[in-house]
Structure 1
Amino acid sequence: MFLGNIITETRKQQGMTQFELADGICTQNTISKIEKHNIAPTVKILVQLCLRLKITLNDVFSDFNERGSEVVDLLISVEKALLLNRPVKVNDQIAIIKKATLNLQEQIQFNLITALQKIMTNQYSDSLFDCDKILTLTKNDSYNIYTLLAYTIKGTAYYKLEKIEEATYFYDLVSKATKANSQIANSTALEVCYISDCISRFYTAKGNHKLSMQYINRALQLNKKNGTAYFIGNLLHTAYLNAQALKVSEGKTAQLKAYADTFLSYDQDQSNLIETLID
């Protein structure tokens, strides 16, 4: 078991929130990153966390050599491939994961993977069941990125099934959660950009172009900050559709169309252009 999993499971067993665990020690964002395996805590912070959780350093480190990183690495790589719509050798990798004994976080991630796989193969109704499994495990915690990903996938599935009212319900849940928790603490840039891409396209289809542009801008800014280019083509194409609907000047609309058509990487000129559209 990994440090992040031990802290997560011990915290939840004691009915403690991330904010409560972090109070006076570090930020809630730090706890989220530790639990997500994005960062390792300093020795000082780790000792303080152990004291608050009433566990020892031996409890934290005793399992480290008993479990390899193969399953964790596979979960991360498969999730990334599916979020990016690249299902290369995914079935073989999932078969390996299925044979492993998964802890809570890994179960959540595995259910996300199966939900994404079913969305990609047009098994929309079946994907809803996997999302419900995620929500049971996360207890619908809106501060958990996997809750928001499950809501997003459910929104996508219902939209594909032409159940617009249900789709709107789940996309609105994501919208409310991300307004209250705009940083989505325990997330990766890819996960946030995936949600932003899905939700922006949905709100454009519904005619809420201003809200769509807010999510496009969020994803573009995150890509710029991290030096990534997740869903740039989709985001700029959706921005172009919004520009048309908002009757933005022909010059700016044409620029967006050109960027979208060529799938250019995000740069400062595009940043300025996008920001002018949401003012």
Structure 2
Amino acid sequence: MEVLGKKIRERRKEKKLSQIELAAGICTQATVSKIECKNRCESLDVFSSICAKLGLSVFECLEETYEQEIISLLDHVENLSEVVKHKEAYEIFSKYEVDVEKLNPFIQTKYFYYKGSTSLLGASLFEEALVYLEQGIIIKNEPTIYNILSMNAIGIHYELQEKFDKARGYNERAYKMIREISERELPLVACKLFFNLAKFYSSLKDYKRSIQLCNQGINLCKSKNSITLLDNLLYEKAYNEYFLTGETEGYRIAYYFTKFVNHEYMMNCIKKDMKDYQIKL
């Protein structure tokens, strides 16, 4: 995507950061150099992290393009999906006719993932969802988090239809792909993948692997100084710890954190479990 490299360079110098220091924990120095000198960045997640580190808004650092409008749409849909408002996200998508050919490969994949996942979870349109998600798993340059999320979403698609062998195949592929990405390069949205995979392996009673995936998501939140999906991850970890060892402390942690962030849907899940399993605060 086209970015305002000059603005990034000026703010970096204001903060007395070298390109290496700006890149630390986010990307390579070469990526920062490409942003500043060629006004290009192929990863929205990387560019968002760089802007955040410099105290800049992503949108004030992007060229005014059609692509920027779609990025804003996708970010809004992503935020709705994080709080399980899939139907609302689907309805917003329904108002747009997106010209995919005008988008860079990364944004195309992100679009296919969210168009497919909201069709699946927000409207139960299984065939339509699969059309988009199958486009989302096509790797155009190198694998992105949205390729992997699309793979996982196809697994969810088959799981909802009780085609568990197919579901397992796609989820195993997603699990393998995410393990091939270094922790330093993982974007925050990978928390969604860790949570989804944790739920899947929990349904297979593979509680240890589910806890491991929850911990990976929790650690990613810590490394990014974010609480994105942290309530979901804490709840899922608590559930699996209870069934693996009988431990209940995780439920208390999940309860108080979810109460703090005021996530009504997740709080209802926690309260139901605590009632069913007779867990007291």
* Shorter-chain TM-score tier: 0.5 to 0.7
Task: Tell me the equivalent position of 2:79.
Answer: 80
Task: Tell me the equivalent position of 1:35.
Answer: 42
Task: Tell me the equivalent position of 1:127.
Answer: 129
Alignment of 1:109-188 (within 5 A): 109-120=110-121, 121-136=123-138, 138-139=139-140, 141=142, 143-183=143-183, 185=185, 188=187
Task: Tell me the equivalent position of 2:212.
Answer: 214
CA–CA distance in 2 between the matches of 1:237 and 1:176?
24
Kindly provide the amino acid, as one letter, of the partner of residue 201 in structure 2: Y
Query: Aligned pairs, how many?
Result: 218
CA–CA distance in 1 between the matches of 2:149 and 2:120?
13
| SS of structure 2 residue aligned to 1:69 | helix
- Deviation of the 1:223 alpha carbon: 1.6
**Are 2:117 and 2:133, in contact at CA under 8 Å, matched by a contact in 1?**
no
TM, length-normalised to structure 1: 0.65
CA–CA distance in 1 between the matches of 2:230 and 2:47?
27
- Does residue 98 of the first structure (1) align with residue 98 of the second (2)? yes
- Does residue 259 of the first structure (1) align with residue 266 of the second (2)? no
CA–CA distance in 1 between the matches of 2:63 and 2:73?
18
- Deviation of the 1:97 alpha carbon: 5.2
| SS of structure 2 residue aligned to 1:246 | helix
**Are 1:140 and 1:147, in contact at CA under 8 Å, matched by a contact in 2?**
no
Q: Deviation string for 1:60-98 (max 9, x for gaps)? A: xxx946657323222222233234423546534553452
Range that drifts further, 143-152 or 176-185? 176-185
CA–CA distance in 1 between the matches of 2:166 and 2:114?
22
Greater relative contact order (CA < 8 Å, ≥ 6 in sequence): 1
Indicate how the Cα distance of structure 1 residues 114 and 218 shifts in structure 2: closer, same or farther if over 3 A, else same.
same
Indicate how the Cα distance of structure 1 residues 230 and 26 shifts in structure 2: closer, same or farther if over 3 A, else same.
closer
Task: Tell me the equivalent position of 1:47.
Answer: none
Q: Deviation string for 1:12-71 (max 9, x for gaps)? A: xxxxxxxxxxxxx9468878993113339x9xxxxxxxxxxxxxxxxxxxx946657323
- Deviation of the 1:260 alpha carbon: 2.7
CA–CA distance in 2 between the matches of 1:184 and 1:152?
21
**Are 1:154 and 1:167, in contact at CA under 8 Å, matched by a contact in 2?**
yes
CA–CA distance in 1 between the matches of 2:63 and 2:231?
41
Q: Deviation string for 1:217-249 (max 9, x for gaps)? A: 01111222333223333322322232223225x
RMSD across aligned positions (CA): 3.6
Task: Tell me the equivalent position of 2:57.
Answer: none
Match of 2:195 among 190, 197, 203: 197
CA–CA distance in 1 between the matches of 2:98 and 2:169?
32
CA–CA distance in 2 between the matches of 1:139 and 1:67?
21
Indicate how the Cα distance of structure 1 residues 236 and 75 shifts in structure 2: closer, same or farther if over 3 A, else same.
closer
Task: Tell me the equivalent position of 1:270.
Answer: none
Task: Tell me the equivalent position of 1:232.
Answer: 230
Indicate how the Cα distance of structure 1 residues 97 and 71 shifts in structure 2: closer, same or farther if over 3 A, else same.
farther
User: Gapped runs of 5+ residues in structure 2?
Assistant: 5-26, 51-61, 262-281
CA–CA distance in 1 between the matches of 2:67 and 2:164?
44
CA–CA distance in 1 between the matches of 2:224 and 2:65?
34
TM, length-normalised to structure 2: 0.65
Kindly provide the amino acid, as one letter, of the partner of residue 39 in structure 1: F
| SS of structure 1 residue aligned to 2:95 | helix
CA–CA distance in 1 between the matches of 2:211 and 2:31?
26
**Are 1:79 and 1:112, in contact at CA under 8 Å, matched by a contact in 2?**
no
CA–CA distance in 1 between the matches of 2:204 and 2:79?
28
Indicate how the Cα distance of structure 1 residues 243 and 36 shifts in structure 2: closer, same or farther if over 3 A, else same.
same
